[in-house]
Amino acid sequence: MARLSAAEAGGINTLAFLDMLAWSEGTSTIKASDDGYNILVGGQMFSDYSAHPRRSIWLPRYKVHSTAAGRYQFLARTWDAIVRNYGFRGRFIPEAQDLAAIKLLTECGALPLIQQGRIEQAIAKASPIWASLPGAGYGQREHRLASLLEIYADERHAEQRDAGELLARYTACGGVPA
């Protein structure tokens, strides 16, 4: 699951979309990983979060080199632009990866759609950025829209359940919801 809270991410829909995106990119499903945050393209892992790993990996199936890394598979040049444009310190920690993905979703016009629950339209807006989304056109494996919508619904349900459990624990300890 994304490391940001719903409030930090802009709502439960955003968290569920991030989790769907990580599933689509194939990073969050690697069991030994840090929920995909430490994955290089091709499935290898890295351990240093101080900066984007910048490892150029040959992908013979697609006949390209790629520097994609992290839960959302940021290319080194994309990460550099995010650091430059948004004042990130450059650390590749999980929370920064979540925030960077949200910045990209904002730039492509998908974030308002996500927050409104218009997930199919948001996926279409985000597809030029993430090769695993339908219609991306990078010549790589693209997931079916129906599969993505199913994963999104599952993740959203999990986020709602987690939020409900947190509220129950808070009120059981004498807290009063705002």
CA-to-CA separations, 95 to 72, 99, 100, 168, in angstroms, rounded: 12, 6, 9, 26
- Report residue 77 as tokens: 């040049």
C-alpha span between 120 and 74 (Å, rounded): 22
User: Would you give the end-to-end CA distance of the chain in angstroms?
Assistant: 25
> SS3 for 92?
coil
Catalytic residues: 25
C-alpha span between 25 and 151 (Å, rounded): 12
> SS3 for 71?
coil
Report the Cα 167 to chain-centroid distance in Å: 25
